[in-house]
Structure 1
Amino acid sequence: MKVKKASLLTKIVILALLIGAATTLLNLQNKLAVAQEDLAQAQAEVAAQRQVNADLSDAVENSGDPERQADIARDKLGLVTPGEYVFYFTD
């Protein structure tokens, strides 16, 4: 039985195909890593926005609470109750 050796052209074509496949694989791995980073960032943003939404929902639900209104008046508007003194400490 005679075994025919592959020609030089065949070897070059196979090598080129292997190099092309390896390059494509590396490119896909890079794209996958970038996509996973984007996904993690988007999930973090979603979690942060859900917390903001929960805080806003809580603020709306408890907007009639007199204690909460007093806290807002004190913290945001700088108001005080009669007879109350506010001291500000600076460095």
Structure 2
Amino acid sequence: IDFETDSWLPTTHESYWKKYGDKLEDMGSWYGPTSLEVAVPSYVKGIESMEDLKGQADKFKGRIVGIEPGAGEMQLLKSKVLKEYGLDKEFKVVDGS
């Protein structure tokens, strides 16, 4: 038996679910509620929201460091979120590990 306890559906692991979903069983949530968000270190003052990042690219070397490139939220961040907040010209999303 292969068992994965941390699938974030419907968004984060959507691509995996589309590819392998016919071989998987969704057994529901085992904890919650949860959220996915962009975070900054607590020592960075004045950044409390995505809107606060506007004009602040120099503080972050123009980068938002994410997680593994195949994660669904990384695709959303790159393709949708930065643009919707007007940050796509200032920031580049860098894949993490």
TM-score (norm 2): 0.22
Structure number with greater CO (CA < 8 Å, separation at least 6) is 2
TM-score (norm 1): 0.23
Kindly indicate which of the two structures has a greater share of residues assigned to strand. 2
